[in-house]
Structure 1
Amino acid sequence: MVSISLLLGLGIGGSVPGSASSAPAAPGWLGSGSAAGPTEAAVPVTTAGFGFAGGSGLLWLNDADLGRELDAVKRTKATWLRVTVDWNSIEAAKNSYNWSTPDRIINAARARGLKVLANVVSSPPWSRPAGTFFTAPPTNNSDLSSFLKKFIARYGSKVTNYQIWNEPNLPIFFGWTVDAARYTSLLKAAYSTIKSAQWGSTVIAAGLARSGGWNSPPNFVTAMYNAGAKGSFDALAMHPYVFPGGLYANPENAVTDIPAVRNLMIARGDGAKKIWFTELGAPTGTADDAVSEWEQAKQITDVKGFAVSAGFVGPTFIYSIRDTGTNLADREQNFGAIYKHDWTPKYAASVLGAV
C-alpha cells in the first residue's frame, strides 16, 4: 500500500532522470567534505529564502505538535511553509466546506511570520470520473475554479502563493496517468481564476519529480508548452532529490534535469521566470536508498548551494520537518530533517539552526 505521505506530501519517482549534463563544480562551502560535515554558518540560501514542505503529515497533527514543529522551523530562520490543501477532504460534498484543517495550519504558520505556499491537490469523488483515484484531475476545471474562489475569499492576503497539483509527471499523482496536456488545461483554468480573484498572487506550475523516459521533467515541460502553458504560470517548480548517491552521482542526480528545463524556459520566452525547488531532501533509516543523518544534511546543503549558484532559483523547500513514523525500513516515514518521530533532533537540525 502506498503511504499517504507519498501520495500527498512527497511523490518521489525513484527512476532515473531522462537527461544528463556535467556535474556542477564542487561547492566551496563544503570544503574537502570532512567528517565534521556542513555547518549552520555554511548553509546557502537564495535571495528568495527557504522553507519547509510539511507534506500531508501536518494535516493530522494536534495543535501542540503542530506548534512544536513550526517553532523549530522558525528557529532555522526559514520564511516559508508549503501547506497541502487537500480539496478532496475540504469539499467532500459539493458546496459543503470543512476548513478546520487549513485554518489551523495556515493560521499557525502566519502567526510565526511564515509565508504560505498553498499546494492545491486531489479531487473529491463528486468532481472526478467514477472509479478514479483521488489524485485525478476533476472532470470539469470549473469545479476546481469554484473551490479556488472560495479558498481565496476565506484566506485573502494570508495566502498569495499557489502550487497547482503535485508531481503530475508521475502516474500516481495524476489519477494513474501522465497527461501534460490535461495538466496544462487544469493549470490554465486555475491561473485564470486565481489572477482574477487575487491579481498580485503567484501561481506555480506543479513541482516535477525526478523520472526517466517520457515522464522526465524536460519532456513533460516541453509537452506543457506545446499544449499552451505559456502565460499560465509565474514560476515552475521542480523536486531535485539526489539521494542516495548525492549531487555528483549519476543516474540518481535529479539536478541534471534542471539546466535542460531552464533552457526550455529560455527558448520559449520564459527566461525571466524562476524555478522553485518545492521539495528537496533525503530519507534516513534502513531502506535500500536511505542515507545517514550526516549525508542527509550534506545533500540538503549541496542542493541549496546549487540553487544559489544557479542564479535562477526561487525559494527552496526542505521535505520535511519530522519523521512521520517509527518504521526505519519505510523510506516514506523518514524524511524529517529536524526531528525523528520521537522528537530526537537529527544531525541536520543543528546544521539548519533548529536546535
Structure 2
Amino acid sequence: MFQLSKTAMLRLLSLATLTAIVVGMVAWPRQSSAAARSPSEVPDTYPPYLAEYYPQTGHSAVNSFELFWRNTPNALFVLGYPISRPFIEESFTNPGEYYRVQYFERAILEEHPQNYGTPYYILGRLLGTQLAKGRENEPPFQPVPDTRDGTWDSVTRHTLRNSPAPFRNFWLNNGGLAVFGRPISEQFQEVNQADGRTYWVQYFERQRMEWHPDEPDPRYRILLGLLGNEYRDANHRNNPAFTPAPRDDARSLPRPFIYGYNAHLYQDREPWQDRKRVLQLVKNSGFGWVRQQVRWMDLHDRSGAIYWEELDDIVRDANEMGVKLFISVVAAPGWATDNGRNGLPNRANIDQFAYFMGEMAKRYRGRVGAYQIWNEQNLAVENGGRVASAALYMDVLVAGARAIKANDPYAIVVSGPPAATETNNPNIAISDLAFFRQMFADPRFRQVVDAIGVHAGGTSNPPDSMWPDRPGPGPNFVTSREFYFRRVEDYRALALQFGLGDRQMWITEFGWATRNNTPGYEFGNQISFEQQAEWIVRAFQIGRREYAPWMGAMFLWNLNFAVPWAQREGNPLHEQASFGILNGDWSPRPAYLALQRMPKD
C-alpha cells in the first residue's frame, strides 16, 4: 500500500470528510432507453471473468471492473482499493434505472451493457457533479466562452488548464474522461473547512481535485476525495456487499466456481448410451457443467455445409436438464490441412474455421456457456503427426475467438491447454512451459481469451506432492514437475510474469487412472479406487481453496468413458475407462460417491 506523508494524509482525510456525496449515474456515453427498469432486468456481466484480491480491504476487484482498474494509470491513488462486491443499485439522478456497480475507495464504477465492446462499458458515477449540485450560479461553475487555445470543453463549456494548478496534466496522465469525466468548473480557490486553509480546486463530473503545492512528495500534490468510502458510509452501512471476505470465499470470486466433468454425450441411439442418464448423474453429484469434445472434421463439409445433427440434440438435452455445456473444438477436416490429416488448419483455411465457430456460436447463443479452441496443441498427435507452432495456434485461436464473440458475446472463450511435458521434439511435442510463454507473449492472447485453459496430470502422484521439494512415492513418474497436479502453479507463475495474473485459469482435464491394460499408463496400476476418490476430492479442494481466486473451474477426466469401453469395445480396462468414476455397468465408483458428498460453493 502506498504511503502518504502525515500532512498529505491529514489533508486527504480532510477532503474526504468535507465531501457530502449523493451518487449520480454516468450521463455520457449511454442510451437512456437501454437502461434496466428493475433489478431483474440488469443483464449478466459480460466476460472476461477476472479477479484480483486485495487483502488491504478484503475484497476482489472483479471482471471488467478489475480490467478498468488495471488500465487506469496510477489506479491505487485515482480509484483506490475495492471496498465491495458487485451488486445492483438504483441510480439516484435517474430513479427507476438500475446498474451493476462495484465500489472503490475513491469512486463508484458501473457497467453499461449497451456500451459493451467499447471503452465505455465501465464508467465512473458522477460523484463530482453531485458534490457541486446547487452551486451552478456561483462564478466558477458558470460556463465560459471558447478560449480558442485547445483547453475548452465544448460539452460543459469549461476549460482544463495547467495554470495555476497542473490539473490538466494530472487528468491526462491518470485516466482522463473515463475516470474523471469533463470539467464542470474553472479552477478557483476554496477553503478546506477541515483545516481552514485555502487551496486551488477544480470540479469534474466524477471527482474533485485539490492542489497542495507544498506537499514534499510530488505524487501527492494533487489530492482526490475518498468519495466511494463517503457514499458507502452514508448509505450502505448494512449492505452485505461491503462485508470483507477471505480470498477463498465464494464472495471473493468473479463468478461461482465451476465443478464439471468431461463426459461422452454422443451416440445416444446406441444401446449402451443414455445421454439423459449421464446428465442426471452430473446433477445428482452436485456438479453443474459438462465438457464435451466436438471434432470439426465431423461436422463441416468441404462444400461449406455444416451438419449439426446430434450436437443439436446434445445442446437441447443439456439445457432441458439444467446442465451447462462447455464445448472443446478439435480436429480440422483433412481438406483444411496441408497433409490431409486432422491437426490444426493451415493458414489458408483459418477463415473457414472462424466461419465454423461463428456459426456454432450463433446457433447455440445463450445455450452453450463456454468454448475451448483446441486441446493439447503442443503435441504432434493433435496436429497430424507434427508439432504446430504457437504462432499458428494463436492465429487459429484469435480467429475462432473473435467469431464466437461476434455471435455470442456472453460465451466464455477458453484457450487450448498444452499437455504437461518437458519434451522438445518437433515430431513429438513442445514443452508446455515453452508453448505457454509463446502464447502469453502474443498481445492478442489477452484480447481474445477469457480464461486460460490448463491440464493437470497427476500420474501416480498425490495432488499435494511436487518435485523436487515434495516428490511423489514412485517408483516412476516422479522426477519432473510435468508429472504432478501442481504443475498448474508453474503455469500461474508464467501468467503473472506476462501480466496475465488477473485472468482465471480453468483446469479442463485432470484425474487419476486406476488399474488398466494400456501401455504407457502403467502408473495407474498402483492406484486403488479408494485412492482415486481421495486424490480427486483433495485436488478439487486445492483448486477451490488454495488457488482462489485465480482458479475458476475444474473439469474431471472423466465421468462415463468406462461405459462405451466396456459395453461397445469389450475392454473395461482401457486407460480412458480407468480414469472414469463410473464402472462400465453405470455403477458408481468410490470417487463418484465421494464427489457427491464433497461440499461445493
1:208 counterpart = 2:418:
yes
Task: Tell me the secondary structure at the aligned position of residue 58 of structure 1.
Answer: coil
| Equivalent position amino acid for 1:353 in 2 | Q
Task: Using the TM superposition, give the Cα deviation of residue 234 of structure 1 relative to its aligned residue in structure 2, in angstroms.
Answer: 1.2
1:134 counterpart = 2:350:
no
Contact 1:137 1:175 in 2 (8 A): no
Contact 1:168 1:183 in 2 (8 A): yes
1:325 counterpart = 2:569:
no
Task: Using the TM superposition, give the Cα deviation of residue 328 of structure 1 relative to its aligned residue in structure 2, in angstroms.
Answer: 4.5
d(CA) in 2 for partners of 1:203 and 1:120? 11
- Indicate the residue corresponding to 1:30 in structure 2: none
Q: Deviation per CA, 1:291-350: give whole Å up to 9, x if none.
A: 22112112211221221211110111111112131324421232211x111222211121
d(CA) in 2 for partners of 1:289 and 1:330? 13
Match of 2:589 among 346, 349, 355: 346
Bigger CA drift: 272-281 or 109-118? 109-118
- The unaligned stretches of length 5 or more in structure 2 are 1-248, 425-429, 466-471, 473-477
- Indicate the residue corresponding to 1:289 in structure 2: 523
Contact 2:297 2:334 in 1 (8 A): yes
Task: Using the TM superposition, give the Cα deviation of residue 164 of structure 1 relative to its aligned residue in structure 2, in angstroms.
Answer: 0.3
1:219 counterpart = 2:434:
yes
Contact 1:221 1:261 in 2 (8 A): yes
- Indicate the residue corresponding to 2:397 in structure 1: 187
**Equivalence map 1:23-102=2 (5 Å):** 47-54=256-263, 57-62=264-269, 65-102=274-311
Q: Deviation per CA, 1:30-81: give whole Å up to 9, x if none.
A: xxxxxxxxxxxxxx99841201111xx4322438611111111110111111
Contact 2:279 2:323 in 1 (8 A): no
Task: Tell me the secondary structure at the aligned position of residue 102 of structure 1.
Answer: helix
| Equivalent position amino acid for 2:583 in 1 | K
| Equivalent position amino acid for 2:437 in 1 | T
d(CA) in 1 for partners of 2:515 and 2:268? 22
The alignment yields a C-alpha RMSD, in angstroms, of 2.2
d(CA) in 1 for partners of 2:369 and 2:543? 23
Contact 2:319 2:367 in 1 (8 A): yes
Task: Tell me the secondary structure at the aligned position of residue 181 of structure 1.
Answer: helix
Task: Using the TM superposition, give the Cα deviation of residue 152 of structure 1 relative to its aligned residue in structure 2, in angstroms.
Answer: 1.7
- Indicate the residue corresponding to 1:245 in structure 2: 461
Task: Using the TM superposition, give the Cα deviation of residue 189 of structure 1 relative to its aligned residue in structure 2, in angstroms.
Answer: 1.1
d(CA) in 2 for partners of 1:51 and 1:147? 25
| Cα gap change, 1:256 to 1:321, in 2 (>3 Å) | closer
Q: Which has the higher contact order (CA 8 A, sep 6+)?
A: 1
Structure exhibiting the larger radius of gyration computed from Cα positions? 2
- Indicate the residue corresponding to 2:315 in structure 1: 106
d(CA) in 1 for partners of 2:411 and 2:586? 35
Task: Using the TM superposition, give the Cα deviation of residue 192 of structure 1 relative to its aligned residue in structure 2, in angstroms.
Answer: 1.6
| Cα gap change, 1:92 to 1:333, in 2 (>3 Å) | farther
TM-score normalised by structure 1 residue count? 0.80
1:236 counterpart = 2:452:
yes
Task: Using the TM superposition, give the Cα deviation of residue 117 of structure 1 relative to its aligned residue in structure 2, in angstroms.
Answer: 1.0
TM-score normalised by structure 2 residue count? 0.48
- Indicate the residue corresponding to 1:298 in structure 2: 534
- The unaligned stretches of length 5 or more in structure 1 are 1-43
- Indicate the residue corresponding to 1:168 in structure 2: 377
d(CA) in 2 for partners of 1:303 and 1:126? 41
Task: Using the TM superposition, give the Cα deviation of residue 138 of structure 1 relative to its aligned residue in structure 2, in angstroms.
Answer: 4.1
Task: Using the TM superposition, give the Cα deviation of residue 233 of structure 1 relative to its aligned residue in structure 2, in angstroms.
Answer: 0.9
Q: Deviation per CA, 1:59-117: give whole Å up to 9, x if none.
A: 22438611111111110111111122221101134322221121121211111211111
Q: Deviation per CA, 1:205-229: give whole Å up to 9, x if none.
A: 0122221144332211101123443
d(CA) in 1 for partners of 2:528 and 2:340? 38
d(CA) in 2 for partners of 1:352 and 1:239? 20
Task: Tell me the secondary structure at the aligned position of residue 532 of structure 2.
Answer: helix
| Equivalent position amino acid for 1:294 in 2 | E
d(CA) in 2 for partners of 1:191 and 1:153? 13
d(CA) in 1 for partners of 2:281 and 2:533? 16
Contact 1:238 1:279 in 2 (8 A): yes
d(CA) in 1 for partners of 2:380 and 2:274? 33
- Indicate the residue corresponding to 1:260 in structure 2: 490
| Cα gap change, 1:340 to 1:92, in 2 (>3 Å) | farther
| Equivalent position amino acid for 2:565 in 1 | G
Contact 1:242 1:299 in 2 (8 A): no
d(CA) in 1 for partners of 2:301 and 2:528? 40
Determine what percentage of the aligned residue pairs are the same residue: 24
- Indicate the residue corresponding to 2:507 in structure 1: 277
Task: Using the TM superposition, give the Cα deviation of residue 198 of structure 1 relative to its aligned residue in structure 2, in angstroms.
Answer: 1.9
Q: Deviation per CA, 1:131-187: give whole Å up to 9, x if none.
A: 332133244210011111211221111014110011112111122214211111111
